[in-house]
Amino acid sequence: MRVMFDDQIFSHQAHGGISNYFLNLAVRYMNDPNLEVDLSGFPILTKNAHLKEIGLGVSLPVRRLNKRPVLMAANQVISAFRHVRREPHPDVVHHTYYFDRPWRTHPKSRHVITIHDMIPELFPEHFGSGNPHALKGEHILAADAIACVSETTKRDLLSLYPGLDVPIVVTPLGVSDDFNPGPEDQGEHGNYFLFVGARGGYKNFDVLLQAFSLLAGETSADLVVVGGGAFRAAESDQIKRLGLEHRIRHLSPTNRELEKLYRGAICLVFPSKYEGFGLPTLEAMASGCPALLADTPALVEVGGDAGEYFKADDSELLANKMMRVTNDTDYRLLLKARGLNRVSLFSWSATAAKTQRCYQLALSA
């Protein structure tokens, strides 16, 4: 079947989680003929470095023009030109984000959307400037089939759209083979706890700060914070009030550096009040890094029996669990072994196969 990924996310992200999701699908479809997916509509104009690396995208020659509105407008012109040339239309259009209204320039095509989470709809109080997912609702109602990255996200979707009557396929995410525990003789773990990702609102970073302040006098371990941008003024002030300014480091690592950070950490701490999937959980487990996870539905779904869980707002319980992972080598090794076993259930090949099933259901809907 001929499948087109629209250009929305590739016109928006030079790097990023959702664009990486579609790139992983593209690589599997290009390399596995058994999946019987022929990607159409490429190459496109893009700012995405990885799409260019695999030969599916090019940038405009004038750098300042490589912005989403310009790229999307130019890609629409290219698509119209292909239509005039009577190039075969795609059987399925897979929309990559929700910036624009559902694209109906291919009336003979079926339309698929991936739902990564319903957090802005469930917790609007955390999004003062409005829903960042823009026109997601219109895409949901226009879709011929929907992929959800977790059972949790599927339940959330149906709770908000109870009358939805299209096929919904759960397509759990995979994790790159670059995330691995490394050689057996790489030595002892490093002396730091690890936090990865955005920190605002429902991400609950404040609970981790409180927990770390409770145990800071009992351990020499530091806290390494990855991604999410530099600390905001309020965060820096809180860190100083807690007396932790010399114990907390913020890093913006490359992918290769992030892999090493996972391998060396005492554990990953993921205190989020809600997630649609929670990819750092998989990255940590694949790297042999124990995962301390808030007991929110998606994190429990992904972590299974390999995660060590705590109530999302209980900083004292979290501090106790962080100390146990630090001091109990046998316990830490048990969590590592469980994580490596658990992560074997997830792969991008499986994601691609389940998404291909979603395309088939869209065609037969």
CATH (domain of 240):
3.40.50.2000
Question: Longest C-alpha distance within the chain, in Å?
Answer: 70
| Whole-number pLDDT of residue 212 | 98
Shared domain for 213 and 302, answered yes or no, is yes
How confident is the model over 115-154, as pLDDT tens digits? 999 999 999 888 877 777 878 999 999 999 999 999 999 9
**Domains: count for the chain:** 2
**Burial class, 183, CB count within 10 angstroms (exposed 0-12 / middle 13-18 / buried 19+):** exposed
Shared domain for 221 and 131, answered yes or no, is no
Shared domain for 24 and 125, answered yes or no, is yes
Answer whether residue 37 is part of any domain: yes
Q: Residue 104 — pLDDT band, cuts 50, 70, 90?
A: low
> What distance in Å separates the CA atoms of residue 194 and residue 190, rounded to the nearest whole number?
10
H helix count then E strand count, the chain: 15, 14
Q: Residue 82 — pLDDT band, cuts 50, 70, 90?
A: low
Three-class DSSP category at 11: helix
Answer whether residue 59 is part of any domain: yes
Cβ neighbour number for residue 107 with a 10 Å cutoff:
6
Shared domain for 334 and 278, answered yes or no, is yes
Q: Residue 185 — pLDDT band, cuts 50, 70, 90?
A: very low
What is the mean predicted confidence (pLDDT) over 86-94?
86
CA nearest neighbour of 296 among 281, 315, 316, 274: 274
Shared domain for 81 and 216, answered yes or no, is no
Residue type (1 letter), 3: V
Shared domain for 198 and 311, answered yes or no, is yes
Q: Is the pLDDT of residue 4 over 80?
A: yes
CA nearest neighbour of 216 among 250, 242, 189, 251: 242
Handedness of CA 85, 87, 92, 95 (dihedral sign): negative
How confident is the model over 11-25, as pLDDT tens digits? 888 777 898 999 999
What is the mean predicted confidence (pLDDT) over 178-195?
79
| Whole-number pLDDT of residue 187 | 44
Contact, 18 vs 9, CB < 8 A?
A: yes
Shared domain for 337 and 352, answered yes or no, is no
Shared domain for 133 and 264, answered yes or no, is no
Shared domain for 155 and 11, answered yes or no, is yes
How confident is the model over 246-281, as pLDDT tens digits? 999 999 998 899 999 999 999 999 999 999 999 999
Selected residue with higher pLDDT from 190 and 353: 353
Q: Residue 3 phi/psi, 5° resolution? A: -125, 130
| Whole-number pLDDT of residue 217 | 93
> How is residue 362 written in tokens?
């869209």
Q: Residue 56 — pLDDT band, cuts 50, 70, 90?
A: confident
| Whole-number pLDDT of residue 105 | 63
Shared domain for 355 and 293, answered yes or no, is no
Shared domain for 112 and 211, answered yes or no, is no
Q: Which structural domain range is residue 124 located in?
A: 2-174+347-364
Q: Residue 10 — pLDDT band, cuts 50, 70, 90?
A: confident
What is the mean predicted confidence (pLDDT) over 34-52?
85
Which region among 2-6, 82-86, 166-170, 329-333 has the lowest average model confidence (pLDDT)? 82-86
Selected residue with higher pLDDT from 73 and 313: 313
> How is residue 275 written in tokens?
């997630």
